[in-house]
Structure 1
Amino acid sequence: MSCTFGAAAHAAPLTHGKYSCVSSKFKASSGTYEFIPHGSFTVSPDGAYSYLGFEKPSTGRFAFDAASGKISFTGGYLDKGEATPIKGDSNRFYLVTPTLPEHRWTCALK
C-alpha cells in the first residue's frame, strides 16, 4: 500500500461552456421537490462569462481557483458570486450570489 502525505489535493480543471441552473423548492403538501429553471451562464477561456437568464445577456469576468475548484464572478448579474464544486460530481456547482432570490442554485454543464 502506498500513501503520500502532504500532497495538495487539486480540483478538476474548469470545463468551459454553458452551465444550466436550477433551484429546488420542497412542497410539503406532496412531499416532493419542484425544480425551477433559472437560465444559464457560459464561461470562456479568456475569463469572460455571460449570464443568459434575461432577454439581453449580462456579462462580467470570472476567476477560477484550481486548488479549490471555485469560480468567483465580478461584474454583471453574478457579481460577487461564487460557484463551489459539488464533491463527487464533476462539472456541477452550487452557485451563491447576492442577486439570487432563492439563495442557492445548482448549475451543471450542458
Structure 2
Amino acid sequence: MAALNAAAQAAPQSTLKYGKYGCTASKYNGSYYEFIPHGSFTINPDGTYFYSGFAKPSKGKFTVDKAGNLLFIGGYLDKGKAEKIDRPNKFFLVFPTIPDNRWTCSCVDK
C-alpha cells in the first residue's frame, strides 16, 4: 500500500506529458515490417494510469524515476517499465506478460 501512495505522490512532480499513449509492436516478416497495435495507456497527474487494450480498461498506478522512465504498479502493466527514448513523449515499454519483446508507445494527445 505504501508503494501505491508513493506512486500518487511522485507522478505529479515530473515534466511528463500526461494523456493517452498509443502502443505498437513491430515484427519483421522477411521482406517488410508489420506494425501491430496493442491498445493504449492513459497517464494522469494523480499518478494513476488506465490501459485500454481490453473491453474493460485496467487501472493501476505509476511513478517516474530520475531518468524520466515510467514504472507501473498494478493493473495490466504491473511491474512494467516504459523507458524514455530520444524522441519527445515516446517510450519503449516492457512488462512481464508482454506478448512481444517490447512495444513502442507515443503520445497521441495534442
For the criterion TM > 0.5, the same-fold answer is yes
TM-score range normalised by the length of the shorter chain? 0.7 to 0.9
The answer for the alignment partner of 1:26 in structure 2 is 28
What secondary structure is seen at the aligned counterpart in 2 of 1:42?
strand
Contact kept? 1:97, 1:103, Cα under 8 Å: no
Higher Rg of the two aligned structures: 1
Return the offset for 1:13: 2.0
Return the offset for 1:86: 1.2
Structure 2: gaps spanning 5 or more residues:
1-13
Please report the TM-score for the alignment, with normalisation by the length of structure 1.
Answer: 0.84
Aligned length: 95
The answer for the alignment partner of 2:41 in structure 1 is 41
Q: Mapping of 1:72-91 within 5 angstroms?
A: 72-87=71-86, 89-91=87-89
Tell me which amino acid in the other structure corresponds to 1:74.
I
Q: Percent identity, please.
A: 55
Normalized per residue, which structure has more helix? 2
Please report the TM-score for the alignment, with normalisation by the length of structure 2.
Answer: 0.84
What secondary structure is seen at the aligned counterpart in 2 of 1:18?
strand
Q: What stretches of structure 1 move > 3 A for 4+ residues in a row?
A: none
